[in-house]
Every structure is written in C-alpha cells, then in structure tokens.
C-alpha cells in the first residue's frame, strides 16, 4: 500500500500516524495519508517563517516567472493529478470533472503570474505626496475543502506566494492524497519552505489557524468551521478570507424559454454532483412556466450517465463521503414525507456513495431541503406568482454566496439581479467564475474576496509613505 507524505522545507516528511483513504465510487483503498501532530504543525510553520524573508526579497518579476513555472508543472502533470482527484474525490475525468479542475488550476496560476500590483499615488498636491505600497503579510495558513481539492487549494496558494508570502496548507482529511501530490510536484520549482503542508482533521486545522506565527488565514468550507476559525484567529489577530458556501437561489423570469436554458440550469445545479459552493441550490419558477421547466430539466437529467468517474463516458460521480451521502438522503426523504414530488433520474451503481439526479417539485420555503444547503444532487423547485415574492424568498436566508437570474430580456434580468443579496449574481449562467473577477460571499457566506487584483490585495498589507514636499 502506498504511503503519501507532507512536504516541509521542500522535502518529504515522515509522520507517526496515518489514515487510509478510500475511493468513494468503489470502496477501493488508495493508500495512506499522514496524520500530523501539533509538533508537526510547529515545524511546518517555522519552515514557512524562515523562508518568508528571502522569498519576499526575490524581485517581483522573478516571483512572477517562478509562478509561471508552477503553471507549467501543473500542465505537465494534469492527467496524473486528474486521475488522483477522480479516484479520491469522485468527480469524473470527463465533462466538468477532474480534467476540468486541472485546467482551472493552470488558469488560476497563469493569471496571477501575469498581474502586477503597482504602487498607487493616492494623493498629491503642491505640499505632499502619498503613495500606497503593498507588502507580503508573512505566513499564510490555507485550509482547503474536499469538493474541489486542487482548484481551491490553488486559489489560496498562488496569490499568496505570488505576493511574497509563504504558505502552510492543510488539505481536507477526506481528500488529502491528490493535494499532497500536487504540492510535492509544485515544490520542484519553488524555493524550499515557500509551500508546506500538514495533514489531519479539524484539530490540526485549529492548531494551524491559532498558531502565533500565522499572519493570514484563508479558508473554504462550512459556516460552523468558519466560525471556529474566527475564534482561533483571536490568538494571532491574523486577517481572514472566508468562503463558507451558499444556498444559491436561481430565479427564472416569467415567459423564459425553458428548453433554451435547461442545460445551463442543469449544470448550474448538478456540477460535481451538486457538491459545489456556488451551485444552484434553490430554483424559483413562475407558476405558469413550472411544468415546462420541470419537463426540460427532466429531459436533460435523464440523459446524463452516472457512475465511476474513471469510466470516460460517465459525467456524474458519487458523493465524496458517507456524511454527505447520508445528509442528502435525509433531506430528500424529509421532502418526500412533506408532500414534495420527488423525481429521480439515472442508473445508480449498487456500490459507492451514488445518488440519483433528483428534482424535487412543489417544494416550499421553510422545508429543510430548501432552507439547508444540501450540497448534493437534489434540486428543490419552488413555484412563485410574483417576482417580488421570488426575490424576497431568495433573499430571506443568510447564505449569500451566489445567485442567478434567467430571462429572455437582459435589461429585466439586470433589474432583478440588482435586488438579490449575494456576492455574485449571474445572468443566464450560474457559477461562471473567472480568474480576473473578484469572488466572495455576503452575509453568512463569508467575507473577503479572491481572484484578480482584489485577490492579490487580500494577501498583502498596505503601507503608505507620505512625503512632505
């Protein structure tokens, strides 16, 4: 059985304890991943701290070139890493799956390597000149999730090192192997200590985020864990970027042609078997269009193959873990018991954490499947009679990562979009993120943004030099 390792100071390290990782589609063992101790965290943070000063002194142009080399390493190893993601996380190789995730890793590495965050003259007159500079914060603690384990880790790693910080990354205990292997490969072109890893469950995450030598925390995951990280950060006063998921609402405006938008709606909801923070989790449909929308979505869902992602023809994989599998089953059962119309599609394998693609008709606000983020392949469809009612329903929950409006008229759609309380509101698309466009949540979906110039600013500290003329 293969044993995987953390990388600290550019070297593979041994751990005293390990956990066995299994394929959620087949139950097959994938190998042993390290389980670290508080001492291991201290060693990794010290390695990052010792490397940070020299890394910050590397010229900006040279850092950009090194990050571009990281993109090349990711490109050269994309197929290997995609295979690990499919076996460990479950998403298929094909379609918007693990190869797609690797393409995103490369893109979200190339773009920061191309950006310059130049000094900004914020004020000048005859008597004074004030220039804002941005400097690295120091050591960044990054906590990556299990749903897009490599892509979101890259979102955290690359802007941080691009701006002269060093990083200690903890992958999810559900999906550590692919992430540890990606970091091992990246370290081929990084100076030792710039990027380090530790592994384990939330207890190791708590040790890392409360460590006195951590200067910035980046976390993607649940609201409950996010709140614990905020508490942990009181030990070091580190600023935090939090992306805590969402219960994204989509509103289809009256009269919108259902067949024309059905595929976009489907993948907006069922990407990665619904295990995506910015997936459609609630669909609001005008009562006159309800039947047409359900029919159009049913037509798409009935044609999408489900199964082991290593089979090229499959486009939907399993839930990643038993906890999530049982949660989604429970929410669908609750909806069925409360009078919803549960429509299931797809031939589901008898082994693994597979669930059918599920449309839940006649759902209502206040039901668990509507009000709780399901994070799985079950979409509640809610009738509305007026756009004001639909907007109010969409805004009533505290989860506010994304939302979308679907319409024939862009002008009308933008009017409704401006009323939705979410970090990003898409029109005639959902989850369409871009490495140059800031992305983050509102309300309980977190704070701070990633991507583009704003994302680079988020991993720096500002310093104003004010000169009297």
Q: Do 123 and 464 touch, CB atoms closer than 8 A? A: no
**Of 418, 382, 429, 453, residue with least CA distance to 163:** 453
Sequence-separated (6 or more) residues with CB below 8 Å from residue 351: 25, 26, 27
Q: Which of 180, 190, 181, 241 is nearest to 71 (CA)?
A: 190
- Give the position of tokens 């995506």: 276
Nearest to 34 by CA among 146, 187, 176, 185: 176
Tokens in use for 407? Answer: 């319409």
Structure token pair of residue 103:
């393409």
Instruction: Please give the structure tokens belonging to residue 303.
Output: 């044609």
**Which position among 88, 181, 277, 373 bears the catalytic label?**
277
The H-assigned helical ranges of 309-367 are 322-337
Annotation marks residue 277 as catalytic: yes
Choice among 243, 279, 340, 450 that is catalytic: 243
- What does DSSP assign to residue 359? E
- Take residue 98 and report the two structure tokens written for it: 């693990």
Indicate the burial class of 39 (C-beta count within 10 angstroms; 0-12, 13-18, 19 or more): exposed
Do 139 and 163 contact (CB within 8 A), yes or no?
no
**Rounded Cα–Cα distance for residues 36 and 168 (Å):** 13
CA–CA distance, 379 with 125 (Å, rounded to integer)? 58
Cβ-Cβ contacts under 8 Å for 118 (sequence gap 6 or more)? none
- Three-state secondary structure call for residue 114: helix
State the virtual CA torsion across 150, 156, 162, 166 in degrees, nearest 10. Answer: -100
Is 454 catalytic? The answer is no
> In terms of C-beta distances under 8 Å and separation of at least 24 residues, what long-range contacts does 222-228 make, across chains too?
223/399, 223/444, 223/445, 226/446, 228/202
10 Å CB burial of residue 59 (0-12, 13-18, 19+) is: exposed
Q: Nearest CA to 29 among 17, 42, 16, 20?
A: 20
Residues annotated as catalytic (active site), given as ranges: 243, 277
């Amino acid at each position: 059985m293969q044993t995987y390792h953390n990388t600290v100071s550019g070297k593979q390290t041994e751990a005293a304890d390990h956990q066995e990782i299994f394929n959620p589609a087949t139950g097959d063992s994938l190998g042993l991943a390290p389980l670290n101790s508080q001492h291991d965290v201290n060693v990794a943070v010290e390695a990052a701290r010792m490397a940070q000063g020299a890394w910050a002194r590397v010229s900006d142009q040279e850092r950009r070139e090194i990050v571009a080399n990281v993109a090349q390493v990711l490109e050269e190893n994309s197929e290997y890493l995609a295979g690990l993601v499919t076996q460990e996380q479950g998403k298929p190789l094909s379609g918007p799956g693990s190869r797609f995730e690797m393409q995103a890793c490369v893109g979200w590495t190339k773009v920061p390597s191309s950006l310059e965050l130049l000094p900004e003259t914020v004020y000048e007159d005859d008597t004074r000149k004030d220039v804002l500079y941005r400097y690295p914060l120091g050591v960044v603690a990054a906590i990556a999730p299990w749903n897009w384990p490599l892509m979101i880790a890259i979102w955290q790693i690359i802007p941080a090192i691009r701006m002269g910080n060093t990083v200690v990354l903890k992958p999810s205990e559900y999906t550590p192997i692919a992430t540890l292997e990606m970091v091992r490969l990246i370290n081929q072109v990084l100076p030792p200590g710039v990027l380090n890893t530790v592994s384990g469950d939330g207890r190791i995450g708590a040790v890392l985020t409360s460590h006195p030598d951590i200067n910035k925390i980046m976390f993607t995951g649940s609201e409950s864990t996010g709140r614990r990280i905020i508490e942990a950060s009181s030990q070091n006063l580190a600023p935090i970027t939090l992306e805590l998921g969402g219960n994204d609402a989509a509103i289809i405006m009256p009269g919108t042609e259902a067949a024309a938008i059905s595929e976009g709606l489907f993948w907006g909801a069922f990407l990665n078997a619904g295990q995506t923070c910015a997936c459609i989790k609630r669909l609001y449909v005008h009562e006159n269009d309800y039947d047409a929308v359900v029919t159009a979505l049913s037509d798409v869902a009935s044609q999408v193959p489900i199964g082991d992602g290593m089979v090229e023809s499959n486009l939907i994989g399993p839930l990643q873990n038993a906890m999530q599998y049982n949660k989604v089953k429970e929410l669908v059962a609750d909806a069925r018991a409360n009078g919803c119309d549960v429509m299931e599609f797809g031939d589901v394998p008898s082994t693994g954490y597979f669930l059918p693609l599920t449309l839940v008709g006649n759902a209502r606000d206040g039901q668990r499947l509507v009000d709780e983020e399901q994070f799985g392949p079950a979409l509640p469809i809610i009738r509305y009679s007026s756009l004001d009612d639909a907007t109010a329903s969409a805004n009533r929950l505290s989860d506010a990562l994304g939302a979308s409006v679907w319409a024939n008229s862009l002008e009308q759609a933008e009017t409704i979009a401006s009323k939705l309380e979410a970090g990003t509101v898409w029109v005639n698309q959902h989850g369409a993120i871009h490495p140059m466009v800031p992305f983050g949540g509102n309300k309980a979906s977190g704070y701070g943004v990633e991507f583009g110039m704003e994302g680079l600013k988020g991993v720096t500290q500002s310093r104003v030099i004010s000169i009297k003329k």
